[in-house]
Structure 1
């Protein structure tokens, strides 16, 4: 199951399949530290029991129904201030393939995948490690709801629930990794502006009036973009431009 990928350049040439694990990110980080994994290595788990999401949330997944995996990258061609470029790059790659099945799928800042009207279908958690001012490695955790249809969270959905179809997990895994690699090669070539434009084009609620919460107060505004550090830019109803980092603003839907 989940064999070495033949159609990629470097991603997925070293695949570690685990029937069960706490977190593929934790496992991949440990393997890198023990020099058991390097750039392109992938850890994929059939049943992840303590998956991690943004804001410290847990990612709960039904065994054998979804895709939970982590891949190792070494984006040392980027400056450490350009971390969000990697987020955008990976988000673009995954969104491209999933939009073939759900055309109206969006990326919700910073890197959740949502289907408007249905809920969250997946998320990406990138953990970067640095040696001083130098980029050491990145572990990219991906959790996607594919064939699971029952959730204990009303804001969650899946590819199967939205489309009504069942999917071959191995084939979808191969396609997703291929698209991530294509996007990563684009990043390596320095196509930063193209990556950002693509990310913003498919960003959830961009240029739409919506309700947010910051510092305990609700306000109306429109997402107008992101800055060079990946912080969210919101233009309020009063015309004020506000910039938020992760955990500083909440979407109220």
Structure 2
């Protein structure tokens, strides 16, 4: 039997040795393309860094303020200390927020917004007083969370004044004055809006003996701060049913009473 021919042996050697290797020129071209691509990426990155940090195009130029009611925009800007003229991307918004909350206790929350290309916006939410604590000739504003955040010379309209009328036995050690103030704040936060506008004084005689003095000489016996929402609903219903009454008692909201009509 005859062996393989010379041509057959050549084909077998080609199959065993695999595909032909690419020429050196092709490999050099691919390497140059890779170098060019990497260089382009590095240059693009450097350009982006320069635009963000070194160019005059993205600098902080404006600090708009929104949401202020009692505070002024100028007060907020001054307390914020935004570095005008610095690269917008380098402004520390967390530090500005912390500084505003520390310097202006009237601010309940603030959102510091980076607004491209030139602004740092300050969106302020001020605290709303629900009760006033008289202090000499001035008034300390207290919000619904019990935070005493500002002292003002004149009582804001529509905000009741706290009156502590405690006897020696009315404030045992478990109900000190600070605790009673917090309870009064809870009650002030539960007073219906229709009634709150007419409430002049929240009078605390003890933990479970709190009353409201309204305009026109009307009074509301509220009791403790417990079941505040139920008492609010009952009070509105009672006032609607007996609009001429002078005295309302919702200390037990399931058994309310009115008198003096």
Name the TM-score class by shorter chain. Answer: under 0.3
TM-score, normalised to structure 1's length?
A: 0.21
TM-score (norm 2): 0.20
Which structure carries more helix by proportion?
A: 2
Larger Rg: 2
- The structure whose RCO (Cα within 8 Å, separation 6+) is larger is 1
Give the strand-richer structure, 1 or 2: 1
